[in-house]
Structure 1
Amino acid sequence: MKDTALPQARPRAVLFDLDDTLWPIAPVIAAAEAALHAWLAEHAPRVAQAFSIEELRARRLALLAEQPHLHLDLAALRRAGLEMAFADVGEDVSRIAAAMEHYLAARNAVQPYDDVLPGLLRLAGQVTLGSISNGNADLEVIGLAHHFKVSLAAAQFGKAKPDPAIFLAACAALGVAPAETVYVGDDLRLDVQGAQQAGLRAVWMNRTGSTAHLEAGIVPDAICASLEELIAWLEQQLDH
């Protein structure tokens, strides 16, 4: 754990990013896309035959470049990509809803890091917890929703990190000032810089030992490799 800032106001709340902060997301997305493609092969074979997983991904990225507002709702982006693919090959578009259900079920089959559940339980006795995510994880399905008093998702809120509005809205919903709130996330620009610009303290959850913050010129209030380190840092702040 590395503390890079002077003590500030006593924290009353901690807000978490989700993907790659509480669980690894790349293997989950890879498995979910493979599951979706297998489903398409059985239920919409013309789509699966015409487009590989990689080709569907490339088409989504091209669509996002044309319609950047879709970054607010990644499920809507994926759905729009499927609509285009189904239309291109003359497949029955009524099957898209079932395809998305199948994909989202696999996308929510995440495995939290080992430190997450015990860490959240310990933190709950010290501060109020919430979450902010640009992704489409469903905390109810995953089974973690009850740990958080407030959970904001960009798709529902209408603005995404690093926009200060989503950080400020979460603070307001928790009834705490930004200066009394700590945000924890893995992305230097979206999470750390975004939270700091909204007046929150920001902890970079750096589970890999990366030094990317040095190149990016971003100075987190603390750098932690686990929730254990986060709790140790937070307890120092609570003692001040």
Structure 2
Amino acid sequence: MSLLEVDGHVARHGLLTAVHGISFSIAAGEVLAIVGANGAGKTTLFRTISGVHPLAGGTIRLGGSDISGFAPHRRVAAGIAMVPEGRRLFADMNVTENLAIAGENGRKGEWTLATVFDALPQLKPIARVAAGGLSGGQRQAVAIGRALMSNPSLLLLDEVSLGLSPIAVEGLYASLGALKSSGTTMIVVEQDLDRATGFADRIVCMLEGRAVLEDKSGALTRSEIAAAYFGLEAGERMH
């Protein structure tokens, strides 16, 4: 049985339909990357799965249970944690406090302050530093650790490498690779196609709110993904 099943997912912003009937599933321990240009509907899809944006049609099932009508806090309790674009940390709190507050409001499980610091060792030296004084890469690592503190069965990571330096991206993906090896189920929104195909088990490409390509990462060429990304017909050239 799939861990997450999204069936006929529709989301709107007023009269504008941002996500058009997308369907996909993800198995426990799998990593799925969602790629697409700006405005493709990726973040709206994520926000609807996490419950912070209303679902206009379709169903969302987690572990076989319909969570389509759950409020965000109930989805966290059910096992979904999202690392949003922009990180959204408590700037005046230090790293440990940002992690601890998530733990207080999450599920019980293997992820604690100790295990998060082990999984994300770059956080140990800055444990007492206020989040507002951190670099972009450090803030992203804290945001991932904060999500883990809720002990999710599914981790949603929106725009993983956006705005980060190449060195920060390398460190971040090293940590994500360790999480993948431990069996953490993840859906990642990533604009870097090389990163997405190298990290994820499977790729879904979105275009104008629709899923236009889906397959195992190893079964897709970069040109096939790029063509779907830009909405090109087979054989059409990019300029």
**Would the TM-score normalized by the shorter structure come out above 0.5?**
no
Normalized against structure 2, the TM-score is what?
A: 0.29
- Hey, which of these two has a bigger chunk of helix by percent? 1
- Hey, which of these two has a bigger chunk of strand by percent? 2
